[in-house]
Amino acid sequence: MAIGLGRILGFRYLENFNYPYIARSVSEFWRRWHISLGQFFREYVYFPLGGSRKDRHRTTFNLLFVWALTGFWHGASWNFLLWGFYYGILIALEHGVLKRAIKKIPRGVGILLTLIAVLFGWALFYQTDLTLCARQVLAMLGLAYGGGAVAFAPLMDSATLYTIRTYTVFPLIAAILCLPILPAADRLLRHRLRLQRTVHLVSTALLTIGVAVSIMNLVANSYQPFLYFRF
C-alpha cells in the first residue's frame, strides 16, 4: 500500500515483503518479511553489538536482545516481548545447532516446518492476553484447557467448518498471492510469448476489480484500528 501511494506521488520505495511464505527457515522468513524493519535493527542494533562475529554465547545474546527489542517496538505488552524471544530463540538455534540440519532437509519440508513455526508465532503476536494466547496455542495442537486440566479436543468444530466452507475463496486467493505464481506467469507471458499489451490490459482490469471488492469489504465490515497507529 505504501509503495502504491508513493508511486502516485512520484516516489519509489523498496519492496518490503518478498514472498516470505516460501522461506525454508525462520531466518530466511525474516529476511523476506518486513525487510526495512529487519535492516534497521540489523544495522543499528545487531551489528553495533558485534553481530555474529563474536563467540556463540555472545551471538545468542545479541539475537535475543535484538528480537526482544523488536517485540517491544511492536507494543508495550507481554505477548510482544514473548513473541520477540520466541523468534530470537528459533533464529539462535538456526545459527547454532540446527545450521547443518537446515541445509540437508528438502526445500518442501523446510517450507512446511517454517510455516508451522510462523503460525505459532502469529498466535503469540495476535493475542495480547497471555491466557487467551495459551488457549489458542493449545487449540492449534488439538488440546483444550478446562477444569484445571489439559485434554484432547477436536481441531475443527462446526463453527470452524462453516467458516471454511463459507469463505473458501479468500484463503485460496491468499495462498496464490503468497506464492510467486503471478510474477512467473507475468514473465512467461510478457517475455516468452510476447503478450505485453494483453497482460497489461488484463492485469489492470483485475487490479481494478480487486480494489473495488476490497473497498466494499472495508465498508461492510466493522472498524478495525491499524496495528501501528500509536507508533
Here the cell at position 54 is 563474536
The confidence score (pLDDT) of residue 26 equals 97
Structural domain includes residue 197: no
The confidence score (pLDDT) of residue 151 equals 67
Structural domain includes residue 105: yes
Spatial separation of the C-alpha atoms in residues 166 and 172, rounded to whole Å: 12
The confidence score (pLDDT) of residue 163 equals 80
Total tally of structural domains belonging to the chain? 1
- Over residues 88-111, the pLDDT tens digits come to 999 999 998 998 999 999 999 999
Dihedrals φ, ψ of 106, to 5°?
Answer: -60, 150
The confidence score (pLDDT) of residue 55 equals 86
Spatial separation of the C-alpha atoms in residues 164 and 18, rounded to whole Å: 27
Structural domain includes residue 74: yes
Q: What is the dihedral of CA 182, 183, 186, 191, to 10 degrees?
A: -160
Structural domain includes residue 39: yes
Strand runs (DSSP E) across the chain, as ranges? 143-146, 149-152
The confidence score (pLDDT) of residue 18 equals 93
Structural domain includes residue 136: yes
Collapsing DSSP states into helix, strand and coil, what is residue 223?
A: coil
Task: Report the candidate in 25, 185, 71, 30 with the shortest Cα–Cα distance to residue 16.
Answer: 30
The yes-or-no verdict on residue 225 having pLDDT over 70 is: no
Mean of per-residue pLDDT scores for the chain? 86
Domain that holds residue 114: 2-141
Q: What value does the mean pLDDT take over residues 44-59?
A: 91
0.85 cut: is pTM over it?
Answer: no
Structural domain includes residue 107: yes
Structural domain includes residue 34: yes
Residue 195: CB atoms within 10 Å:
14
Question: Which of 34, 74, 95, 200 is flagged as catalytic?
Answer: 74
Structural domain includes residue 24: yes
- Over residues 151-195, the pLDDT tens digits come to 677 767 787 788 878 888 888 888 888 889 888 887 887 777 677
The confidence score (pLDDT) of residue 62 equals 95
What residue has cell string 517454517? 114
Cβ(64)–Cβ(88) under 8 Å? yes
Active site residue 74: yes
Length of the chain: 231
